[in-house]
A = this chain, B = another copy of it.
Amino acid sequence: MFEAAEVGRKIAKSEFKRREPELHTRLLDAQRALRETDIPVIVVISGVEGAGKGALVNRLNEWLDSRGMQTFAFWDESDEERERPFFWRFWRTLPERGTIALMFGSWYTRPIINRVFGKIDPSAYEKDLTRIAEFERMLTKDKALVFKIWCHMSKKAQRKRLARESGHALRDWKLSPLARRYSKHYDAFARVSEQAIRATDTGECPWHIVEAEDPRYLHLTVGMKLLDALNHRLTREASVSAAPDERAVTRRVGTGDETRTVLEQVDLGRRLSDKRYRRQLAEYQRELNGLVWKARKKGIDTVALFEGWDAGGKGGAIRRTTAAMDARLFRVISVAAPTDEEKAHHYLWRFWRHLPRAGHVTIYDRSWYGRVLVERVEGFAPESDWMRAYQEINDFEQQLCEHGAVLLKFWIHIDKDEQLRRFKERERIPWKMHKITDEDWRNREKWDAYEAAVNDMVMRTSTEYAPWTLIPGNDKKFARVEVLKTFRRGLKAAL
């Protein structure tokens, strides 16, 4: 989930200076328009300790008009608060319609801390999260815009910042004493926070995970996302008849370091020599064969899915994998356009129906992620549908994993040049010609939109129980072996 927020996004000082005035003006415009509506806006600022949440809150206070906004910090609880149900403190800070409340710390803070330090058990924590989701749903149904920011920083970046600030005589005070204490529990916080985000990342009030290492990037991105969210709601309010959705566009303004995605983290330079490929292929296939039989005996089922760019080599990787398995034990489901019958059901229905029996393997060549990839980019599904899908997918996969299935999710990545080379090769070589269509060329034109969608997908669906594996695919040999290795690792862990 957080890996997509550890890719080193940055904004140069000069660029920040250039763009800030316009953002500032547009935020004030939106805030003015908001005043005329019956929408209360709740901005929740959460995230890793030391990520600079305080500075972000200050910046938003600088940008927005204080007459329509209030900031609330939730520190130690007062007597008044302690003597009433937990949510009382939040109810009394809820903003009036047409105004904004900025929550620095929120209903998430206490449950997360309690869980990290073992003060509550997993089921109490889950109950807290369910209550939070209900609370936010209730506010949303009452027209509120609940805008949630999670400021993320990698463990390394957090350490670096703490070290720097601690040593700096003038800046030392900026660091809350808690930051030091909490930073010792980075991994636990990450795990517990991920669960909170997953349980409350709904279509109506999604989380925005933003990389916090570069403050300029953090501030500008949060400002733009807030502007988008406000304008989106204001437009919807103005004309209930579906206004064209501008979000996908504004999300991707800017260039360079700012628009980096998790895919750029994939090291496409990795290759395998012919000789090593042949040896490793044979070795891993043999081993996988044994593992699949063992899983059969133990009644453990495996679900693997492959997504990736056109011509990325999904088919080849799948064939090298199934070659290792007994034909009675696996099925490959190729996902193309849905049939009439499938269209007459919920989009997940077509995947549920093919789930393997105990001890079997189902491989999906493209999968339920089509909802948040092609359907999103091509506009086949309205935004409200695909935004909701992340949580539906997470829940679906959680059910699989709770049932004991091994779930493997592959994105096979290639770069744009490599795709072009392969497309041309397909046009040239007779037996590959059938594999290239006009649609492939059309999809290629939407590369950036797809890349943004993949980034969001990894951000919202790479979970503790079902993480994504991003496979470098420029070298097909390397990719195939890597898939086999991951498969083997997954089965071994479950057996």
Partner among B131, B139, B392 whose Cβ is within 8 Å of the Cβ of A138: B392
A279: interface (CB < 8 Å) = no
CA distance A85 to B124 in the complex (A): 24
Specify which chain B residues have a CB less than 8 angstroms from the CB of A130 in the assembled complex.
126, 130
A20: interface (CB < 8 Å) = no
Q: Mark A66-90, 1 if CB is under 8 A from B, else 0.
A: 0000000000000010111111100
Contact B94 A346 (CB under 8 A): yes
Partner among B91, B345, B388, B399 whose Cβ is within 8 Å of the Cβ of A97: B345
A395: interface (CB < 8 Å) = yes
CA distance A63 to B395 in the complex (A): 37
A254: interface (CB < 8 Å) = no
Specify which chain B residues have a CB less than 8 angstroms from the CB of A352 in the assembled complex.
87-88, 91-92
Least CB distance, A463 to chain B, in whole angstroms: 16
Partner among B88, B349, B400, B402 whose Cβ is within 8 Å of the Cβ of A94: B349
Contact A400 B346 (CB under 8 A): no
Contact B395 A355 (CB under 8 A): no
Contact B123 A127 (CB under 8 A): yes
CA distance A85 to B405 in the complex (A): 9
Contact B399 A345 (CB under 8 A): no
> Contacts A83-B301, A91-B352, A392-B138; is A97 near B127 (CB within 8 Å)?
no
CA distance A149 to B301 in the complex (A): 36
A215: interface (CB < 8 Å) = no
CA distance A344 to B142 in the complex (A): 11
CA distance A87 to B355 in the complex (A): 11
Specify which chain B residues have a CB less than 8 angstroms from the CB of A395 in the assembled complex.
131, 134, 138
Specify which chain B residues have a CB less than 8 angstroms from the CB of A40 in the assembled complex.
344-345
Specify which chain B residues have a CB less than 8 angstroms from the CB of A399 in the assembled complex.
85-87, 131
Chain A interface residue count, Cβ-Cβ cutoff 8 angstroms? 53
Specify which chain B residues have a CB less than 8 angstroms from the CB of A124 in the assembled complex.
123
CA distance A405 to B83 in the complex (A): 10
Partner among B139, B345, B347, B405 whose Cβ is within 8 Å of the Cβ of A346: B139
Quick one: closest B residue to A87, CB to CB? B399
Contact A91 B353 (CB under 8 A): yes
Specify which chain B residues have a CB less than 8 angstroms from the CB of A142 in the assembled complex.
346-347
Contact A400 B85 (CB under 8 A): yes
Specify which chain B residues have a CB less than 8 angstroms from the CB of A139 in the assembled complex.
346
CA distance A336 to B40 in the complex (A): 23
Specify which chain B residues have a CB less than 8 angstroms from the CB of A144 in the assembled complex.
346
Contact A88 B141 (CB under 8 A): no
The 7 closest A-B CB pairs, nearest first, are A123-B123, A83-B358, A96-B344, A91-B352, A85-B403, A85-B399, A83-B357
Given contacts A83-B359, A123-B127, 13 further A-B contacts (CB under 8 A): A40-B344, A83-B301, A85-B399, A87-B352, A87-B399, A91-B352, A96-B341, A97-B345, A123-B124, A130-B130, A138-B388, A138-B395, A144-B346
